[in-house]
Structure 1
Amino acid sequence: MNQLNRRRRNVAAIVFILILAILAVFLYSPAKEQKQPPAPGAVKQTEGLQKESARQEFEDASFEGNGKWYGLCKKNSIHSLDDFRKAVLSDPVLKTHFTGFKWENAKMGRLDKATRAYVYYRKDDTIFRKKTPITLPAGDGYITDGDTTVRTMCCNSYAAAPPAYAEPELEAEPAAGPQPLNVNTYPAPPEPAETLIPEELIGRTLADSRIVVPPVIIPHHTPDDRPHPPSHDHPEEPKEPPPKPPRPVPIVAPILLLGTGLLALTGVKRRFRK
């Protein structure tokens, strides 16, 4: 009976250790579900929200979007300089925005051609600057003091956007200006005076020795054969940073539990043999 009870206890201990090991593996294993990328549906939903929020603002010179008016004053309420001045002085938001406007230099006009510009718009009591330029049509009315330009349709100030690219101005006669430096030709270095031999001394020496001297051939370098200094037009490519050392792998808890279970199992076997 004692041996039978001992065997049962040993078997129960082994089963208990195996259960602990299995639980440890499941509990301490890395959660793969948390590292998985978001589902495509969630990405599409996020992109849709971003597009909807962007569409809430106006996209053209009408200054209307999603049923809202983004003008600084009432639509088409400015017909003269006095109308604009009254609108500014009667609205604290506009009064703050147009601080420094030179009323003595103000004048009205219309655009000769369509112009792309960065405009200011209004949401409630806050004035924002639109990130992307819009096209103002030709003939659009404006008021300006020489520095600030305002649309008469909505009182929105704006600044002309720079062109997408600027063409360099070419001179009609390039020779009229300073000559460009030719980097492919280099003047030959002057020969030191100490190495020069007077012609009279050469003639006397040859006459006394009666030696036929072959003609001296002076090497001539063409502009293409001369050594060129290193060019700075093409800088060296940036060197890649050294690879980062691998991160140390932490000791996983299941390994410790498994080792503990194996040690316990070894002890049980030894006891069972006794």
Structure 2
Amino acid sequence: MAQSNSPARIAFVTGAAQGLGESIALRLADDGLDVAINDIPSKVEQLKAVATQIEGKGRRALVLTGDVTREEDVRDNVVQVVGQLGGLDVMIANAGIGIHKSFLQTTTEEWDRIMAINLRGVMLCYRYAALQMIKQGRGGRIIGASSQAGKKGTTNLSAYCATKFAVRGLTQSLALELAEHNITVNAYAPGFILTSLAYHPNDAVNGLRPGGTIKQLFGLPLDSPEAQPEVISSMVSYLAKPESYFITGQTILVNGGTLFD
């Protein structure tokens, strides 16, 4: 196949020091994109390791630290991406956290923190990516992190579910607003993915397969479907491609069939 002489497209992935964010960043590098990666300052060494892998694939990498809940951090990160890599074509608003606690036991402070990271953070990433993409005038792809828990409420995950449902609504609304600019807005909704967050020391202690303790915590059968992060990054890879222009406003379940739309 002939090589294209057009400039490389540029992606920005938040929460990229580990887990889904890392997998997505590396997949986009495999797809030929230059990739800026973000996480909180305490994870800068992990980010540098991811950047080394991106560069090993022949792509440019840019390490950025910042808190997605802080508007100035998100704004400044986007400015740095544009200034150092030359633009922004794909925004992956991946950063997020969870808490497994009953609604009545969840403190207001815990609720606010989850809302700030999982919803305000996605909103800010969507906003500043959209502003830059409109300015560039070459379209773009904005992709956010929802969850299967954003499709159906789950016991002891009320705050997390609320944010992931909200990401779906935000994604749909912004998709309508940005359609005229040839910018699509979608989200991915993972089921049980075997990232580092799925593992627990009690897995080995109790003779369980990796992820078994967390499945028990969530009330899932031990043999319920699970997958590696690559199944999510492959979905994001397609949504980021130019040929995905006919998909927008969608939050796509990737869960082994445990829940259907």
Coarse TM-score class (shorter-chain normalised) = under 0.3
Bigger Cα Rg: 1
- Bigger helix share: 2
TM (norm. structure 2) is 0.17
